[in-house]
Amino acid sequence: MVVLRYLIEALKALIVVDAVLSWVVGPADMPRAFTKAILDPVYAPVRNTLAPLGWPVDLAPLLALLLVFGLQFAIFGRKKLPEELR
């Protein structure tokens, strides 16, 4: 369970890093290309759901982050993080 918790925390951090990088780095540049390759499978279902709405802003990172928080809550409940993750 600790490994799963670390993976979820890493995924949340990567989503935030990708969102910030999207403002300053092009999608083909190195740090963004790495996060894009990892997170595109996570964003794809969210983008497919939002596509018919035609919004000009990509809300996939925000909604994916909320889904990951929901997944974390569903798996671990309201337990506090281990001391090493605080």
pLDDT at residue 42 in the model: 93
* Helix, strand and coil percent figures for the chain, each rounded to 5: 80, 0, 20
Whether the Cβ atoms of residue 66 and residue 49 lie closer than 8 Å to each other: no
Using alpha carbons, select from 85, 41, 76 the residue that is nearest to residue 60.
Answer: 41
For position 7, what pLDDT does the model report?
Answer: 94
pTM of this prediction exceeds 0.85: no
Computed from CA positions of residues 46, 44, 32, 66, in that sequence, does the dihedral angle turn out positive or negative?
A: positive
Whether residue 49 is predicted with pLDDT greater than 80 in this model: the reply is yes
Q: What is the model's pLDDT at position 18?
A: 93
Q: Where are the domains of the chain?
A: 25-76
